[in-house]
Structure 1
Amino acid sequence: MLDFIYFPVSWILWFWHKVFGFVFGESAGISWVLGIIFLVWSLRAILFKPFVNQVRSMRKMQQFAPEMKKIQKKYANDRQRQAQEMQKLQKEHGFNPVGGCLPMLLQIPVFIGLFHVLRSFVPGHTENYGFDAQGVQSYVDANLFGARLSNFITQPQAALDQLHADRTSVILVSIPLMILASILTHLTARHSVTRQNPESATGQTAIMNKLTMYIFPLGVLLFGFFFPIGLLFYWLANNFWTLMQQRLVYKRIDSEEEAKKNEALEKRSNLAPKPGAKPEQARKKPVAPAPGTKPQPGVKPAPNAKAAGTARKTQPGAKPAPNAKAAGTARPKANGAAKSSGTDNGATGDSTVSGLSSDRSRKKNSGRKNR
């Protein structure tokens, strides 16, 4: 029924067993152990990209966790409206909850497939998916410190006798693997919990953190009594990969976020004025219009523009000539007198006319003063 899972898992294990069997021998226990470990790492390498997306999705969820709390509090009595607002918020932030669970969901069929393939290595079987009868017998005969990879601690004695294995040897090999796998499970969960945002913590989150940090490692320790040694190596290799992958991915994402923050700060510092410098204000000084031209509409004339125009006519420090206005007004009369004298006495010169006009003007001035 699940052959689409069993065959790929079996073929990958067959490939790595051939690689290490060429070096250590096909029936050597180390060849099968390394084959199982690299089978796990190959499958996890395929899931590396989805894992990165999972971490990014979790970080996004932690960023808008306070907004989710507000929605939960606002629509506490309306579950349908609460779900709608949650979906709207997730769509705005580009968060996909299914994508965050994808790597974990994909590991389940891998575990089921490997568990079934390893338990199918039974003496007398002529084939096991990708392995022929010789491959099956090679796995059955693989010896690891007096134990077989298909042995487990609670295995019936008849099965141990059939495989020519000793229970004490099985316990000595299985217990250290169980303890180490349990410790790595705890460290992996602890590293993930420490990266969570405290503001996004809820009651359910606290319960899940305790389950992953304490209950799951304890479960690995207890179920190890029923797991074959080969499957314990799978669990150990999987937890080791997860721990190292988390450290690498979180460090990479932290550096990216730090670079974005530094870039934003640098932009702000470039736009801000330097310390001690006043912000420049563009002030347009009004320009005085040229003499004889009208000022343009909307443009104010320069201050003291009129005074500047008059200063050009009279130089600073120069006094106007005395009786300039009177002299200016007397000129037309003098011309009139000259005309009349010219008609009466045609033989007289210009000097006589000018003398008469000056005498008349003096008499008029002296008469005004006496009055």
Structure 2
Amino acid sequence: MDTIASLFSFITTPVSWVIVQFHKVYGALFGDDSGWAWGLSIVSLVVLIRICLIPLFVKQIKSTRNMQVLQPKMKAIQERYKNDKQRQSEEMMKLYKETGTNPLSSCLPILAQSPFFFALYHVLSSIASGKKIGAINQDLLDSARQAHIFGAPLAAKFTDSVEKVTSLDASLTDVRIVTAIMIVLMSASQFFTQRQLMTKNVDLTVKTPYMQQQKMLMYIFPVIFAVMGINFPVGVLVYWLTTNVWTMGQQMYVINQNPTPGSKAQDAYLQRVLKSVTAHGQVRGRTRRNTVKAIVAKGPDRNDIERKFITGLGKLGLAAQDDGTVQKSETAAADAEGSQAHKRQQPKRQTKAKRQTAGAAGAKDAESSDAGSKTSLEKQDAPQDDQPKSAGKPASGSSRQAKSGQRKGPQRPKHPSKK
């Protein structure tokens, strides 16, 4: 711990100073020794840090979008080198290098928070040990040691002994109940954040290392937090739970407003845009206009969801323009009706039972047809003595039975020399 503290000593003092400033504000409302004053100070620290990390988050989103643009090329590489995994990885890395894309960019916000996390951990550990640190003097140290959140001191941990918890004027049962609930909430929020990313905001038609990375994080991070959480003080659990909730809300906003192309979130988003256009006759909002503009610019490279959106506009008699707006167009309506009619002309796929029934009926019809043909041939082959033959004309049966190469009608007698 001393080694970690020395590594992050450059940020311990600023973190403790920020907590003290927030404590002055909340202490005036809830009391200096109140757990709410110290707990809300930690929450405010998280909000401040995450606001400062917004530019990094924007960079993360841009890098993620670059990964999505590269997905067709990545799919081509996978198909080309599907039997050579090493060559496939080399070509993927070459593509990342050429386009300046980093598949590990999703980890940047977590890495950027690490110094603040360890600094706060060291501050709370010092409070539990009764040591002054950074901007926290003796009076603030005594106040922080008396602060409880739902009966659990800020500096208490799940693994603390009865003697240590008693010295902080608390019950070991209360500490373990509060920490267990916070650990479960922290792990659940992390899992839900990754799960909604995988199920709603990923193009599942293309498998990429980015998807594999997100799937791995979805299961690994909650386990890590659950295992490490028992060694975190209550104040650190408050910090990490708050940052998980912030990340979850931030991601929900991005999924709703800027979804990944080809994902379920994009389908839901474009349906909302189409519904708004139906109600108002125009694309409302700069963000939505930019989305429509990007779809128009793709041209034939649009995915199925985007083509369905353009077709939906055509049914309304509207055509998307290069600037993201829509205008009345009879051509777009005709194209939409033509594509819909073409789609209706395609036969529906029958079930296996119907196909078997149809096959049996066809076989019966074929047998009946064969039997009828056979009967007809027998009738034709039968002698027709009761029918008078026309003079100078051959019988119809004889004409049918004429071999290929012979002329129809009466035949000239052969020359005696050719018999």
Task: Report the TM-score range of the alignment, normalised by the length of the smaller protein.
Answer: 0.5 to 0.7
Alpha-carbon shift at residue 120 of structure 1 (Å):
1.2
The answer to whether the Cα contact below 8 Å between 1:68 and 1:86 also exists between their aligned partners in 2 is: yes
Aligned pair 1:36/2:42, yes or no?
Answer: yes
Q: Which of 184, 190, 202 is matched with 1:185 structurally?
A: 190
Equivalent residue number for residue 51 of structure 2: 45
Task: Name the counterpart of 1:23.
Answer: 29
Q: Which residue is 2:108 aligned to?
A: 102
**What value does the CA root-mean-square deviation take over the aligned residues?**
3.2
Structure with more relative contact order (C-alpha pairs < 8 Å, separation 6 or more): 1
Q: 1:191 to 1:112 in 2, by over 3 A?
A: same
**Equivalence for 1:57:** 63
Alignment of 1:321-360 (within 5 A): none
Instruction: Pick closer, same or farther for the CA change 1:261–1:65 going to 2, 3 Å.
Output: closer
* Percent of pairs with identical residues: 35
- Between 108-117 and 230-239, the greater mean CA deviation after superposition: 108-117
Partner of 2:320: 266
Residues 146 and 170 of structure 1 are in contact (CA less than 8 Å); yes or no, is this contact kept in structure 2? yes
Distance 1:81 1:47, change over 3 A: same
**Deviation digits for residues 336-363 of structure 1 (CA, Å, limit 9, x no counterpart):** xxxxxxxxxxxxxxxxxxxxxxxxxxxx
1:146 is matched with which residue? Answer: 151
CA–CA distance in structure 2, aligned partners of residues 8 and 80 of structure 1: 48
Q: Distance in 1 between matches of 2:104 and 2:126?
A: 33
Shift of 1:90: 3.7
Q: Which of 130-139 and 58-67 deviates more?
A: 58-67
CA contact (8 A) 2:78 2:88 kept: no
Go from structure 1 to structure 2 and tell me whether the alpha carbon gap of 1:100 and 1:219 turns closer, same or farther (over 3 Å shift): closer
Paired position in structure 2 for 1:212:
217
User: Deviation at 1:69?
Assistant: 4.0
**2:253 equivalent in structure 1:** 248
Cα distance between partner residues in 2 of 1:251 and 1:242? 14
- Which residue of structure 1 aligns with residue 16 of structure 2? 10
Length-normalised TM-score, structure 2 = 0.58
- Taking the aligned partners of 1:273 and 1:224, their CA distance within structure 2 comes to 62
Structure 2 Cα separation of the partners of residues 47 and 184 of structure 1:
20
The one-letter code of the counterpart of 2:321 is K
1:73-115 per-residue CA deviation (whole Å, 9 max, x = no partner) reads: 65686968964x5466346645344655432220222221211
Q: CA deviation at 1:54?
A: 0.6
**Quick one: structure 1 residues 222 and 102, their matched pair in 2 at CA, closer, same or farther if it must change by over 3 Å?**
closer
Q: 1:115 to 1:124 in 2, by over 3 A?
A: closer
Q: TM-score, normalised by structure 1?
A: 0.64
Name the aligned partner's letter for residue 267 of structure 1.
Q
Q: Which residue matches 1:356?
A: none
Provide Cα deviations, 1:23-79, integer angstroms capped at 9, x if missing partner: 111110011110111111110111012112212211220221231243366568696
Q: What count of residue pairs does the alignment treat as equivalent? A: 274
Corresponding position of 1:117: 123
